[in-house]
Amino acid sequence: MENAPSVNFKTLWNQVVSSLRAVVSDEDFESWIEPMKTRPAPDGALEITVPNRLCASWIEENFLDDISTAWTEASGQRNTLRLVCDEQPAQGNLFADEPDKASQKVRKPPARRPGGFLARYDFDNFVVGPSNQFAHAAARAVAGQPGALYNPFFIFGGVGLGKTHLANAIGNAIVDSDPNARVLFLSTDSFTNQLIDAISRNRVQEFKNRVRRMDVLVVDDIQFLAGRERTQEEFFHVFNALYDSGKQIVLTSDKFPNEIQGVEERLCNRFGWGLVADIQSPDAETRVAILRRKAQAESISVPDEVMSYVASQIDSNVRDLEGALTRLSAYASLNRSELTLDLARELLATSGGNGQKEIGLEDIATGVNRHFGLRPGELAARRRTKKVAEARQVAMYIMRNHAGASFPRIGEFLGGRDHSTVVHACRVVEKKRSDDPRFRDLVDTVTRMIGCG
């Protein structure tokens, strides 16, 4: 089975590896690309075998697009690429994890429940500590008596602190206790997009009626209403209709109701009518508890001292905290090394996890906005004038190359765009930089201004 084609395959893979060397950093190359095990699948796909799911998700988020591009270039055709888990099957269950099943598991989109709620976010896997105790208790109360207690229920807090998690947990709990409850989860972007779609098809009333029929409406990241006047107008009516009929409204935002700029006052006022609960950054003990939960959920064993170390180094937010653990354990399993304190020190130090000021996506967005003279929120919005489109691409490029954010993360941050859009943008900017010195200066200036250069 592995005769003639595999010789050819090796040559191809070597080409892929050498073009990847030029694209990824030396450190990433040695840690992730070199130890990769690949083989051709019978159907012509490239199979990358990884030791476990964590490893797969790390590679998928960070390198899959680069690998895919290099692979397409080398082979001259759009071949499929698959990540296959090579987890040690449990004893006596040798065929439990067939490669096909495993790879499907990896690529499967997150499970959605009725109303679009994400199944993986529930109250049981939300770790409670002083930083989120109040928001958690209130969320549980709201889920227990939707519409009766706090309306709207407004969760506010910084990026990656668990707002989306709690908002989903509310919806999931409500459906668990009443499968007939009409619940709907919408990101502010999908609310906007569905509205735009409805406008273009002359179906605005229909769209609004559908939303108004809900018993529970969750709108995530309501700060993205900023600058979208028509959406605000329609949301205002939907809000009033639901509120007047005692239906539960749950909103999340990274800003306090009255501090959301670019949103009409009458809306901001209403956001504060019910209960506003904030989530703060978790303290050290909660961070360790979150890591422990995550390790348990992923069935990975991580020494206590490593968890304490990670928790001491990453104190910004829960998403980064989980990301660090994923990265460490994926690295250890891919390189067949033990996840020791020394290894954790080494890896987190090189990623700037320690000391160095980390430039966040928010800072980059603000810097780019300022440079291009855009209003806050415009980068994430739907609008697509030439200027906004260019600014957005530049922002994506800087986020990828100077903040090391993954393609999906950038897409999510900039208004829930698909990661392929981000990949495309980065290539466009890369190309324009090398073709046009003036454009290169512009990008470099913005980058320096933000403090990334």
Which residues, at least 6 apart from 437, have a Cβ–Cβ distance to it below 8 Å?
none
CB 322, min distance to ligand ADP, A: 6
162 lines the binding site for ligand ADP (CB under 6 A): yes
| Torsions phi, psi for 61 (to 5 deg) | -70, -35
CB 346, min distance to Mg ion, A: 31
Q: Give the span between the Cα atoms of 447 and 453, in whole angstroms.
A: 5
* Three-class DSSP category at 259: helix
Indicate the burial class of 48 (C-beta count within 10 angstroms; 0-12, 13-18, 19 or more): buried
Which residues, at least 6 apart from 287, have a Cβ–Cβ distance to it below 8 Å?
311, 314, 315, 318, 321
Minimal CB distance to ligand ADP: which residue?
Answer: 162
- CB closer to ligand ADP, 40 vs 152: 152
- CB closer to ligand ADP, 97 vs 278: 278
Angle 403-256-223 from CA coordinates, rounded to 5°:
60
Indicate the burial class of 278 (C-beta count within 10 angstroms; 0-12, 13-18, 19 or more): middle
Q: Give the span between the Cα atoms of 381 and 386, in whole angstroms.
A: 14
CB 271, min distance to ligand ADP, A: 17
In the shown chain, the binding pattern of residues 320 to 339 toward ligand ADP, with x for contact by CB under 6 A and - for none, equals --x-----------------
CB 319, min distance to Mg ion, A: 9
Q: Could you tell me the two tokens for 331?
A: 């690295």
Q: Give the span between the Cα atoms of 394 and 273, in whole angstroms.
A: 39
Partner whose binding site includes residue 132, from Mg ion, ligand ADP, none (CB under 5 to 8 Å by kind): ligand ADP
Span interacting with ligand ADP, options 142-150, 153-161, 363-371, 412-420, rule CB under 6 A: 153-161
- CB closer to Mg ion, 158 vs 274: 158
The count of C-alpha atoms lying within 13 angstroms of the C-alpha of 8, restricted to the half-sphere facing its C-beta, is 9
Span interacting with Mg ion, options 156-164, 185-193, 234-242, 343-351, rule CB under 5 A: 156-164
Q: Which long-range contacts (CB under 8 A, 24 or more apart) does 269-273 make?
A: 270/152, 270/236, 270/239, 270/240, 270/243, 271/152, 271/154, 271/222, 272/154, 273/151, 273/152, 273/243
Helix (H) or strand (E) run with residue 187 in it: strand 183-187
Size of the residue set binding ligand ADP (CB under 6 A): 17
Q: Which of 51, 115, 160, 360 binds ligand ADP (CB under 6 A)?
A: 160
- Distance separating the N- and C-terminal Cα atoms of the chain: 50
CB 153, min distance to Mg ion, A: 15
Which residues, at least 6 apart from 159, have a Cβ–Cβ distance to it below 8 Å?
254, 317, 319, 360, 361, 362
For residue 286, give the DSSP letter: H
- Sole residue written with tokens 């309306």: 151
Minimal CB distance to Mg ion: which residue?
Answer: 164
CB 165, min distance to Mg ion, A: 8
Span interacting with ligand ADP, options 14-22, 105-113, 163-171, 206-214, rule CB under 6 A: 163-171
Q: Which of 117, 126, 150, 191 binds ligand ADP (CB under 6 A)?
A: 126
- CB closer to ligand ADP, 132 vs 188: 132
Q: Which of 105, 319, 371, 382 binds ligand ADP (CB under 6 A)?
A: 319
- CB closer to Mg ion, 192 vs 329: 192
28 lines the binding site for ligand ADP (CB under 6 A): no
Size of the residue set binding Mg ion (CB under 5 A): 2
Q: Which of 103, 164, 192, 248 binds Mg ion (CB under 5 A)?
A: 164
- CB closer to ligand ADP, 66 vs 322: 322
- CB closer to Mg ion, 69 vs 190: 190
Is the separation of the CB atoms in 426 and 397 below 8 Å? yes
Which residues, at least 6 apart from 77, have a Cβ–Cβ distance to it below 8 Å?
none
371 lines the binding site for ligand ADP (CB under 6 A): no
In the shown chain, the binding pattern of residues 266 to 305 toward ligand ADP, with x for contact by CB under 6 A and - for none, equals ------------------------x---------------
Contacting residues toward Mg ion, per CB under 5 A: 163-164
Contacting residues toward ligand ADP, per CB under 6 A: 121, 125-127, 132, 157, 159-165, 290, 318-319, 322
